[in-house]
A and B are shown apart, each in its own frame.
Chain A
Amino acid sequence: MSEMTKPLLEMQSVSKEYNGNPVLKDVSFTLGQGEVLGLVGENGAGKSTLMNILFGMDVIHQTGGYGGKVLIDGNEVKFASPLDALKAGIGMVHQEFSLLPGFTAAENILLNREPQNRSVLSLVFGDRANTIDRKKLQKEAIDAITKLGVELDPDMMVSEMPVGHKQFTEISREISKSSIRLLVLDEPTAVLTEKEAEMLLKAIRNLASQGISVIFITHRLQEILDVCNKVVVMRDGRIINELDAGKTSIQEMARLMVGREVSTHPKDDDRAGRTISDRIVLSVKDLWVDMPGETVKDVNLEVRDGEILGIGGLAGQGKLGIPNGIMGLFPAGGSVMLNGSPIPLNNPRACLDSSLAFVSEDRRGVGLLLDESLEWNIAFPAMQIQEKFLRMYLGGLIKWRDQNAIKTVTDKYIEQLQIKCTSSKQKAKELSGGNQQKICLAKAFALEPKLLFVSEPTRGIDIGAKSLVLKALREYNRELGVTIVMISSELEELRQICDRIAIITDGSVSGILPASTPSEDFGMLMVGKTRKEA
């Protein structure tokens, strides 16, 4: 490739905001023909938004478009829909397969682009009556598979394929398009076995040598080193660094991925004033949880009295499964002991009865009664579990809802957590995300738990609300000595308020470190390397 040719793809200071929250800031990079670009970053770093912009996805237009320029061959393009992007020769393979299970590989590869034979009927009914040219279909499919350089039987039904072959079918479909010039692979190896992943990486090199450029998104940093020419590391919507894949290391990438290099630890003094006893409050042994997308395989954890334990890790590794499993929301097994007595699993009531409480990551689905008032939302669990806010008549036979007590407690939390609402009678669905989250916290606080699980408390809320939520949690821990287990995808947030942080990788704990450990080490744990290996 000569210096004179224009790069295939160029992004010039692309930016994007959702409802005033910037998610991409000044993103610029170039990609030449036949190059493989690795794109790495934590969840929420802006990778998928960037790809959505490249593809002209509807979600971008509906939220006010984007800033900056996308150039292909040096000409600015603005794709109105993914179809335009496809026409321009950009193909994408998503994490979720979009294949027809009852069709063969060949049929899937050329779906809706089948080679056709004209028949007599076509004269009358037009092209709709054309028949499919099976031989040519087979040939074109085999061409695409050969181009990819993998072994794949074109006659195999998708429903009978191992995951790896599905992935190959999907990629073959993209490259069977004659115009294909740029292929985006979004975590293609996440579902593959090691051997399959190896084959895929070989295929990527193969494609690159044929002049097809590839953008490769993955969390497995070793793969980046193996196939990419250059690496773009994203964090908080910015490109942190563009590295030459030949000259970087996993360590460097991991460090760039997770962390601002915060040397002075925040709130050190605050932490110093507390004594965390060595007494174990909660011990979890051999826990497995069958939560779709967040499977927990084998978790062993011990939580000390009065501490804030953070649980971090990349999405899909199982960190969310832990509280959901312990609290009985998803099928689980193993043993969980609270203060030495066992907690029965798969029984939400028993957990709540033993003074555990849970703030779910799924605010709208699990956390709130969207159609009911704030009063109901806050008072409901405490009323049902601990019979608070009730007035007894006829010797406890009639348990009447005590509207005044409910209003008092709701108003108390509205003031304490600075919840913005018109009144305690407002419906929960009318509140903003941050205020809804505070309602969820208030609901858990009203239960006065001994141990509180908080799952993704800052997901989808703005920065101001974020710090309020974190502050509320910290105060709750300090003032009442409540042990908190906080699960979050944002490592920095965990480092701010936690005492220790456990990192979950592939369904089990890959390490527990004090929060003051440099974020680089956490990054290594996240990508599945222990400190020794690195």
Chain B
Amino acid sequence: MMDRIKELAKSFGLPRLIIAGFLMALFIISPFAGLSITAAITDVAGRFGQNALMVLAMVPMIHSGCGLNFGLPLGIIAGLLGATLAIETGIGGPVSFLLAMLYSTPFAIIFGWGYGKLLNRVKGSEMMIATYVGFSSVAFMSIMWLILPYSSPTMVWGYTGQGLRTTISTEGFYYHILRDTLAIRIGSLQISIAEILFFALFAFIIWAFLHTKTGTAMTAVGSNAVFARASGINIDKQRTLSVIMSTWLGAIGILCYQQGYGFVQLYQGPMYMAMPAVSAILIGGASVNKASITNVIIGTILYQGIVSMTPSVMNSLIHTDMSEVLRIIVSNGMILYALTRKSGASR
């Protein structure tokens, strides 16, 4: 009996068990701390819908052996370009969301292509390089946001009439475009079906892609690049393709985030967006070279659960703001743990 429990625990993974246990504990404590369980669930569900796509953006690059996509900010920037261009057109409503997706796609493809070429030159240290690709692209775009000739009054600084503001409201454009569609409302509980379906659509596309010939080749490149080369696969091409896919998913991911969050955050906004996504997929049980859609789903729920539950429960229990500290420990600790794990690091 003990053995079977151990076996089960092993297959699920000890870190996941601890985090899931902690999350359960938070849910159990919350009524006693005077918090509403339904509000908590609403919050977690909303955050899941907002963030899951950016976690999914990790998957293609992990499969092709490019490691974790620490360069997610690059994809986010493609999304931000799409978002600002869509708002610039002035068309509101659901169409603006489609336009944003449409506009961000070419940017994502071009950025991803260059980013992929770069990663092909630094095989073996992709993740470090990716981190700096993310950081430096954010810095570069911080200049560009000021210079680019945007003119929509909803976006530019009021006193000069040029240069984009740091936060732009999506109100009147695609604010809650998915969140409020097909939403289930029971009392204070609200779960948005459209958001989940939107994620499910992309998750299905990735799942299906990994079952095709090209997807199989991509996974083989990540599993053993020499084997793939000996089987006639063009490794660099597969890797570049995976980076483009990841970058594009990042772009779509941030749009999905914006519609739920309500704001487009420019300048330093994308800077640390990669960390929560990386952390989430690792909590979900992925390693540096293996990841599945299940990892994405479990990881996002656990990570966002911790992040949204700890502040409220902690604050109301000890009346001190411990939330940020805990969040940093969980997300960075998880990254550290996963990167040092032997099975994860080996190619």
A interface list, Cβ under 8 A from B: 327, 329, 348-349, 351-353, 358, 360, 365-372, 376, 380-381, 383-385, 387, 390, 398-401
The answer, yes or no, to whether B1 is at the interface (CB within 8 Å) is no
Distance in Å: Cβ of B209 to nearest Cβ of chain A: 10
Measured CB to CB, the nearest residue on chain A to B213 is: A399
Do B290 and A371 touch across chains, with their CB atoms under 8 A apart?
Answer: yes
Q: Whole-angstrom distance between the alpha carbons of A499 and B150 in the complex?
A: 77
Do B231 and A348 touch across chains, with their CB atoms under 8 A apart?
Answer: yes
Do A385 and B232 touch across chains, with their CB atoms under 8 A apart?
Answer: yes
Q: Whole-angstrom distance between the alpha carbons of A401 and B215 in the complex?
A: 9
The answer, yes or no, to whether B100 is at the interface (CB within 8 Å) is no
Do A365 and B226 touch across chains, with their CB atoms under 8 A apart?
Answer: yes
The answer, yes or no, to whether B220 is at the interface (CB within 8 Å) is yes
User: A390: which B residues are within 8 A, CB to CB?
Assistant: 213
**CB-CB under 8 A for A384 and B223, given A327-B230, A352-B232, A399-B212:** no
Apart from the given pairs A329-B226, A367-B227, 18 other A-B contacts in the complex at a CB distance below 8 Å: A348-B229, A348-B230, A349-B232, A351-B232, A353-B232, A360-B230, A370-B224, A371-B224, A376-B216, A376-B220, A380-B227, A381-B232, A384-B233, A385-B231, A387-B213, A390-B213, A399-B214, A401-B215
Q: Rank and list the top 8 A-B pairs by shortest CB-CB distance, nearest first.
A: A349-B232, A399-B213, A381-B231, A352-B232, A369-B223, A366-B226, A348-B232, A369-B224
User: B211: which A residues are within 8 A, CB to CB?
Assistant: 400-401
Do A372 and B220 touch across chains, with their CB atoms under 8 A apart?
Answer: yes
Do B213 and A369 touch across chains, with their CB atoms under 8 A apart?
Answer: no
User: B229: which A residues are within 8 A, CB to CB?
Assistant: 329, 348
Do B212 and A401 touch across chains, with their CB atoms under 8 A apart?
Answer: yes
Distance in Å: Cβ of A249 to nearest Cβ of chain B: 44
User: A398: which B residues are within 8 A, CB to CB?
Assistant: 212
The answer, yes or no, to whether B217 is at the interface (CB within 8 Å) is yes
- Other-chain residue from B212, B215, B220, B289 in contact with A380 (beta carbon distance below 8 A): B220
Q: Whole-angstrom distance between the alpha carbons of A370 and B216 in the complex?
A: 15
Q: Interface readout for B219-243 with A: 1 if CB under 8 Å, 0 if not? A: 1100110110111111000000000
Q: Whole-angstrom distance between the alpha carbons of A352 and B230 in the complex?
A: 9
Measured CB to CB, the nearest residue on chain A to B343 is: A371
Do A369 and B212 touch across chains, with their CB atoms under 8 A apart?
Answer: no
User: A327: which B residues are within 8 A, CB to CB?
Assistant: 230
User: A385: which B residues are within 8 A, CB to CB?
Assistant: 231-232
Do A366 and B232 touch across chains, with their CB atoms under 8 A apart?
Answer: no
Do A349 and B212 touch across chains, with their CB atoms under 8 A apart?
Answer: no
Q: Whole-angstrom distance between the alpha carbons of A400 and B215 in the complex?
A: 9
Q: List 12 A-B contacts (CB under 8 A).
A: A329-B230, A348-B231, A360-B230, A366-B226, A366-B227, A367-B230, A371-B289, A376-B220, A380-B231, A387-B213, A399-B212, A399-B213
Q: Whole-angstrom distance between the alpha carbons of A387 and B213 in the complex?
A: 8
Q: Interface readout for B327-338 with A: 1 if CB under 8 Å, 0 if not? A: 000000000000
User: B232: which A residues are within 8 A, CB to CB?
Assistant: 348-349, 351-353, 381, 384-385
User: B230: which A residues are within 8 A, CB to CB?
Assistant: 327, 329, 348, 358, 360, 366-367
Task: Please tell me the size bucket of the interface on B.
Answer: 20 to 34
Do A383 and B216 touch across chains, with their CB atoms under 8 A apart?
Answer: yes
Q: Whole-angstrom distance between the alpha carbons of A360 and B228 in the complex?
A: 13
Q: Whole-angstrom distance between the alpha carbons of A381 and B254 in the complex?
A: 38
User: B216: which A residues are within 8 A, CB to CB?
Assistant: 376, 380, 383-384, 401
Q: Whole-angstrom distance between the alpha carbons of A434 and B214 in the complex?
A: 31
User: A351: which B residues are within 8 A, CB to CB?
Assistant: 232
User: B289: which A residues are within 8 A, CB to CB?
Assistant: 371
Measured CB to CB, the nearest residue on chain B to A382 is: B231
**CB-CB under 8 A for A400 and B227, given A349-B234, A384-B233:** no
Measured CB to CB, the nearest residue on chain A to B226 is: A366
Q: Whole-angstrom distance between the alpha carbons of A387 and B232 in the complex?
A: 13
Q: Whole-angstrom distance between the alpha carbons of A348 and B229 in the complex?
A: 7
**CB-CB under 8 A for A368 and B213, given A348-B232, A381-B232:** no
Q: Whole-angstrom distance between the alpha carbons of A305 and B198 in the complex?
A: 58
- Other-chain residue from B212, B219, B227, B290 in contact with A368 (beta carbon distance below 8 A): B227
Residues of chain B in range 199-216 having any CB-CB distance to chain A below 8 Å: 211-216
Q: Interface readout for B48-67 with A: 1 if CB under 8 Å, 0 if not? A: 00000000000000000000
Distance in Å: Cβ of B133 to nearest Cβ of chain A: 27
Q: Whole-angstrom distance between the alpha carbons of A249 and B304 in the complex?
A: 79
Distance in Å: Cβ of B223 to nearest Cβ of chain A: 5
Q: Interface readout for B285-313 with A: 1 if CB under 8 Å, 0 if not? A: 00001100000000000000000000000
Measured CB to CB, the nearest residue on chain B to A367 is: B227
User: A400: which B residues are within 8 A, CB to CB?
Assistant: 211-212
Q: Whole-angstrom distance between the alpha carbons of A353 and B220 in the complex?
A: 19
Residue among A383, A384, A398 having the largest count of chain B Cβ atoms under 10 Å: A384
Do B217 and A384 touch across chains, with their CB atoms under 8 A apart?
Answer: yes
Do B223 and A372 touch across chains, with their CB atoms under 8 A apart?
Answer: yes
Distance in Å: Cβ of B51 to nearest Cβ of chain A: 28
Q: Whole-angstrom distance between the alpha carbons of A351 and B231 in the complex?
A: 10
Measured CB to CB, the nearest residue on chain A to B211 is: A401
User: B231: which A residues are within 8 A, CB to CB?
Assistant: 348, 352, 380-381, 384-385
User: B234: which A residues are within 8 A, CB to CB?
Assistant: 349
Distance in Å: Cβ of B120 to nearest Cβ of chain A: 17
Q: Whole-angstrom distance between the alpha carbons of A300 and B224 in the complex?
A: 32
User: B215: which A residues are within 8 A, CB to CB?
Assistant: 401
Distance in Å: Cβ of A78 to nearest Cβ of chain B: 33
Distance in Å: Cβ of B202 to nearest Cβ of chain A: 17
Measured CB to CB, the nearest residue on chain B to A352 is: B232
User: A360: which B residues are within 8 A, CB to CB?
Assistant: 230
Distance in Å: Cβ of B42 to nearest Cβ of chain A: 38
Residue among A348, A368, A371, A400 having the largest count of chain B Cβ atoms under 10 Å: A371
Q: Whole-angstrom distance between the alpha carbons of A387 and B217 in the complex?
A: 12
User: A387: which B residues are within 8 A, CB to CB?
Assistant: 213
Distance in Å: Cβ of A273 to nearest Cβ of chain B: 34
Distance in Å: Cβ of B123 to nearest Cβ of chain A: 15
**CB-CB under 8 A for A369 and B214, given A349-B232, A380-B220, A385-B232:** no
User: B233: which A residues are within 8 A, CB to CB?
Assistant: 349, 384
Residue among B216, B226, B231, B232 having the largest count of chain A Cβ atoms under 10 Å: B231
Q: Whole-angstrom distance between the alpha carbons of A366 and B216 in the complex?
A: 17
User: B213: which A residues are within 8 A, CB to CB?
Assistant: 383-384, 387, 390, 399, 401
Measured CB to CB, the nearest residue on chain B to A353 is: B232
Q: Whole-angstrom distance between the alpha carbons of A373 and B233 in the complex?
A: 19
Q: Whole-angstrom distance between the alpha carbons of A385 and B229 in the complex?
A: 12
Distance in Å: Cβ of A386 to nearest Cβ of chain B: 10
Distance in Å: Cβ of B213 to nearest Cβ of chain A: 4
Q: Whole-angstrom distance between the alpha carbons of A358 and B289 in the complex?
A: 26
